[in-house]
Structure 1
Amino acid sequence: MHPRAAEFGERARERYDADVDVLEFDASTETAAAAADALGCETGAIASTIIVSLSRGDDEARRGSGGRAPPDDLVAAITSGANRLDLDAVADHFGADAAEMGDPDRIREVVGWSIGGVPPVCHDAALPTVFDPTLTEYDTVYGAAGTPNAVFVVEPETLAGLADATVVDLTD
């Protein structure tokens, strides 16, 4: 097993007392469509984790001389692979002026995982998280497990609970 996928499994056990079933594939699972193809499931059953950067009117003041906003400018959205995240709805939900896809380097620095393998849980920093209600239509969903070739199997209600996520539709 890839060391990062194994690390994800260890973190899940340590943090949540959850014994997750990590599946690895030769082919990439970094997009919802690719993961669904590898798993033989509907794209909607893929729990994609998208890290979003929020902008607020006071961001410049909060940054100070360091040039970077603090980690609280990032939020996580766990969406069904069949849906597209509405960034304006995310900004509105979190009371921000705007929202954009997070910077890959910043995501790696704050969350601890790289794009293409960002799991919905086991982040280095606690992020406010929203959960797409479409995922609750499935008995089982699949989230990234730390690498572009690994996923884990979980019930959607369990995943929302582990992520301490608010279930709200912020998709197009």
Structure 2
Amino acid sequence: MSGGSVERVRAALRAAGHADTVAAFPDGTRSAAEAAAAVGCEVAQIAKSIVFRAGDRPVLVIASGANRADMAKVAVALQGDAGPVFHVKRADGGWVREVTGFAIGGVAPVGHLTPPLVLLDEDLFGHAQVWAAAGSPMHVFATTPAELLRLSGGTRADVREAG
């Protein structure tokens, strides 16, 4: 299944006018630490994809690999002028695969089966280059935070858990 997922990410990158920078790392890039070691960067430069649920809507938080996402901050970032609209909770692996088309460890910021609501961790913008999952636990692609924002259609937000 990962071959199709990686190709879906490649197609989404090309369709958005982004270079195909997908690279494979047979030893794995499942965690931010593994991905950073594989590409030779700081853990903070890994743009990790975390999927939450807001009812039936997927919420994709693209966080710096050095950070944990704060669900309360995510909910606040998603709220409208009328106040909280979404109850955000953790998503289980089966639901993530069903709605995104990706297994946990390979969730990309693009190419989702169901378009998610997207938030980008403000801390990613402190780096010139970042790497994100490309559809499998062994594939990543290089990009910039500004391109990631454009590609994902997301919103910049403070989502980092304090402490």
How far apart, CA to CA, are the structure 1 residues paired with 2:144 and 2:113? Answer: 23
How far apart, CA to CA, are the structure 2 residues paired with 1:75 and 1:86? Answer: 13
How far apart, CA to CA, are the structure 2 residues paired with 1:133 and 1:20? Answer: 25
Instruction: Check the 8 A contact 2:122/2:159 in 1, yes or no.
Output: no
> Which residue pairs with 1:51 in the alignment?
51
How far apart, CA to CA, are the structure 1 residues paired with 2:72 and 2:7? Answer: 36
> Which residue pairs with 2:95 in the alignment?
106
> Which residue pairs with 1:171 in the alignment?
160
Q: Who wins on radius of gyration, i.e. which is larger?
A: 1
> Which residue pairs with 1:65 in the alignment?
none
Instruction: Check the 8 A contact 1:78/1:129 in 2, yes or no.
Output: yes
Aligned ranges 1:7-156 → 2 under 5 Å:
7-14=8-15, 16-54=16-54, 69-70=55-56, 72=57, 74-94=58-78, 95-96=84-85, 98-156=87-145
Structure 1 residue matching 2:123: 3-state secondary structure: helix
- AA aligned opposite 2:26: D
Structure 2 residue matching 1:76: 3-state secondary structure: strand
How far apart, CA to CA, are the structure 1 residues paired with 2:44 and 2:139? Answer: 17
Q: Unaligned regions of 5+ residues in structure 1, if any?
A: 55-68
Percent identity for Structure 1 against Structure 2: 33
- AA aligned opposite 1:87: M
Q: Which runs of 4+ in 1 moved over 6 A?
A: none
CA displacement at 1:28 relative to structure 2: 1.3
CA displacement at 1:97 relative to structure 2: 6.3
Task: Provide, for residues 5-34 of structure 1, a one-character-per-residue CA deviation record: whole Å limited to 9, x for no partner.
Answer: 2332123213x1322211111211011011
Aligned residues between the structures:
154
Give TM-score, length-normalised by structure 1.
Answer: 0.83
Instruction: Check the 8 A contact 2:28/2:137 in 1, yes or no.
Output: yes
How far apart, CA to CA, are the structure 2 residues paired with 1:27 and 1:48? Answer: 18
How far apart, CA to CA, are the structure 2 residues paired with 1:128 and 1:23? Answer: 26
Task: Provide, for residues 50-93 of structure 1, a one-character-per-residue CA deviation record: whole Å limited to 9, x for no partner.
Answer: 11112xxxxxxxxxxxxxx53x2x21100000111001111233
Please tell me the root mean square deviation across aligned C-alpha atoms, in Å. 1.6
Instruction: Check the 8 A contact 2:77/2:157 in 1, yes or no.
Output: no
150-159 or 99-108, which moves further after superposition?
Answer: 99-108
CA displacement at 1:127 relative to structure 2: 1.1
